[in-house]
Amino acid sequence: MQGTLMGIAFPFSAIVGQDEMKLALVIAAVDPKVGGVLAFGDRGAGKSTAVRALAALLPPMSAVVGCPYQCDPADAAAQCADCRARSKPGGKGKKPAALKAHEVPVPVIDLPLGATEDRVVGALDLERALAHGEKSFEPGLLARANRGFLYIDEVNLLEDHLVDLLLDVAASGENVVERDGLSIRHPARVVLVGTGNPEEGELRPQLLDRFGLSVEVKTPSDLPTRIEVIKRRDAFETDPVAFVAHWEKEEAKQRKRILAGRANIGSVKVSDRELEQAARLCMSLGTDGLRGELTLMRAARAAAALDGAKAVDDGHLKTVAPMALRHRLRRNPLDDSGSSVRVERALNELFAS
């Protein structure tokens, strides 16, 4: 369903149900390093609504004025070469010039179907090349999505080489452009959010595994929930401004939770016992590589930070295990028992013993 109406996003807290999808997005907002969210599910279940709503929920961020990558003025390590050069002390003992900053909303950039590679990674700036014969770089979608979200609807229909490229950038946090005689690298710390409908074709397992979290989205099946969805949606469409105002308090609460989570996450402890539990879980499920364990721990830590907890406990592990692992199972592609069920089973076995 549509995520925005005349530029106003549907409030995140007003989304009925879809708890797992919401949690996955919030975890990705607290710790972007979990590596993207993949949401597979029915049409019209509110996947894109949730993504847009989350972006509207997040507080504006401080960015360097005029920087095409919205660099953070406070974080020198993650700045682009240009910003770093400008903030460095000058050669003759000058004081570092403070970078001018302004508040910008967290970007949510849509990657439309049919987008070409040069628009995604950036390319030679045609206009300047034509007008002045000069070689300059025109940043692409990845630049615009830096420090925000890149939303790919129908990720399973996207060409494989583009998905590959995106996952590469998302994992490294940097976009390296070597084309048109340009050689540029710029920060691209992007949370990928991919959605799709498995009926229309699937993602290759190699790509699947590289998304951090994966959720299954279903249209709610019980009547009261459905009525509530329609009521809220209808109220929003009739009067978006009033509807958003009505939910502002809830939104503020949610926002506070995310901010607190971000502040806390550095101090959340992970005991050896929990690490062992995570490793055991991954072993019993037979996930390939260590990526599963890493994501599981990261996500659990973010979940703990959201709860305001000091350390990760079994509960956090249990909550995030399905979304962190279900797409990593070495699977018989024709096995009908869903991977969610298998993760659930392994969890029960692990925590029962």
Which of 128, 280, 291, 331 is the catalytic position? Answer: 291
> What does the alpha-carbon distance between residue 322 and residue 341 come to, in Å, rounded to a whole number?
9
Q: Is 345 a catalytic residue?
A: no
> What does the alpha-carbon distance between residue 210 and residue 188 come to, in Å, rounded to a whole number?
17
Identify the DSSP state of 62. E
Smallest separation, CB 32 to another protein (Å): 22
Nearer to another protein, 75 or 159 (CB): 159
Residue 114 exposed, middle or buried by CB count within 10 Å (0-12, 13-18, 19+): exposed
Smallest separation, CB 255 to another protein (Å): 24
Nearer to another protein, 266 or 333 (CB): 333
Nearer to another protein, 103 or 336 (CB): 336
Residue (of 192, 190, 214, 220) closest to 202 by Cα position: 214
Residues in CB range of 273: below 8 A, 6 or more apart: none
Smallest separation, CB 230 to another protein (Å): 5
Smallest separation, CB 344 to another protein (Å): 19
Nearer to another protein, 49 or 277 (CB): 49
Distances (CA, A) of 267 to 64, 199, 304, 312: 28, 42, 10, 11
Smallest separation, CB 239 to another protein (Å): 10
Nearer to another protein, 75 or 202 (CB): 202
Locate 187 and state its tokens: 């920060």
Q: Catalog residues that contact another protein under the rule CB under 8 A.
A: 1-6, 42-45, 48, 110-116, 118-120, 123-124, 126-127, 129-131, 133, 138, 141, 153-154, 157, 159-161, 180, 198-202, 204-205, 219-224, 226-227, 229-231, 233-234, 237-238, 332-334, 336
Residue type, 119: R
> What does the alpha-carbon distance between residue 306 and residue 264 come to, in Å, rounded to a whole number?
8
Catalytic residues: 291
